Amino acid sequence: MRTGERRAWRPTAALPAVVAAALYGWAHWYFAGPNPPSAAVAVAVGAVLCAAACALYFVRTHGSGALFGALFLAVGLLLTVTTADRAAGRAEVAVCVVREVHSQVQGSYGEGGPPAKTVHRFALDCPGGYPDELRDDRLLAERGEEIEVAYDARRRVSPEPAGRTSAWVPAVWAALLIAGATLISVRSPAPGA
């Protein structure tokens, strides 16, 4: 009987890591591959993969942890895509002049919500005309000042301030959440137990 119980949970326990690896590969191909799919196809396939994985996980994981495991898996998969985005090449760097700065305070709604935050949109004059805009939550430069911007010449990922792109933080959080989903699946009771 013990052998049958192990067979019941092993595929589900492997699901988070397998899906995260597949989704990372898909997102990396879209963000950095030589012949990527269109944005609509990339988003549709990624969304279907995430939804199907979470639904299968929820159905196959038994006990009260199924909901939390599926949530961990969903957020871990979103962070996996963020990791692929951050790891994608923004190989070009341009020194741009800030033409205009538009700041907008995004309020918080409801009690206990996150505090209001200010988003700055920088209209840029860059050599070659691209990038022409940069958004950040920090005031990086004033009007007329120069700023270094890292960007992808193929325009698949958003431009960012040079030197700020790091995939480590989302990668660590994704790994922790995927590991949490795996642990919940391993510790879930056997079917019918």
Q: What is the DSSP code string of 27-68? A: HHHHHH-SSPPPHHHHHHHHHHHHHHHHHHHHHHS-STHHHH
Residues 96 and 83 in one domain: no
pLDDT tens across 1-36, in order?
344 444 444 677 889 999 999 999 999 888 887 888
Residues 85 and 14 in one domain: yes
Q: What is the pTM of this model?
A: 0.70
**Structural domain tally of the chain?**
2
pLDDT tens across 50-103, in order?
999 999 998 888 777 888 999 999 999 999 999 988 887 777 888 999 999 998
Identify whether the C-beta of residue 162 lies closer than 8 Å to the C-beta of residue 148.
yes
Q: Please name every residue paired with 94 in a beta bridge, in sequence order, or none if there are none.
A: 149
Domain membership of residue 192 (yes or no) is no
Domain membership of residue 76 (yes or no) is yes
Residues 16 and 76 in one domain: yes
* Of the candidate ranges 81-85, 106-110, 184-188, the one whose mean pLDDT is the lowest: 106-110
Domain membership of residue 77 (yes or no) is yes
Residues 121 and 72 in one domain: no
Name the residue range of residue 17's domain: 2-89+167-187
Angstrom distance (rounded) from CA 114 to CA 105: 13
Domain membership of residue 152 (yes or no) is yes
Q: Which pLDDT belongs to residue 189?
A: 67
Residues 115 and 80 in one domain: no
Identify whether the C-beta of residue 96 lies closer than 8 Å to the C-beta of residue 124.
yes
Residues 49 and 63 in one domain: yes
Residues 154 and 172 in one domain: no
Domain membership of residue 138 (yes or no) is yes
Residues 145 and 157 in one domain: yes
Nearest CA among 9, 6, 3, 53 for reference residue 185: 9
Q: Which pLDDT belongs to residue 18?
A: 93
pLDDT tens across 84-97, in order?
888 877 778 889 99
Residues 6 and 85 in one domain: yes
Residues 122 and 28 in one domain: no
Instruction: Please give the C-alpha separations between residue 191 and each of 4, 13, 53, 180, in angstroms, as whole numbers.
Output: 10, 14, 19, 20
Residues 79 and 8 in one domain: yes
Domain membership of residue 42 (yes or no) is yes
Identify whether the C-beta of residue 161 lies closer than 8 Å to the C-beta of residue 136.
yes
- Read off the pLDDT of each residue in 168-181 and give the average, rounded to a whole number: 92
85 CB neighbour count, 10 Å cutoff: 20
Domain membership of residue 110 (yes or no) is yes
Domain membership of residue 193 (yes or no) is no
Residues 74 and 34 in one domain: yes
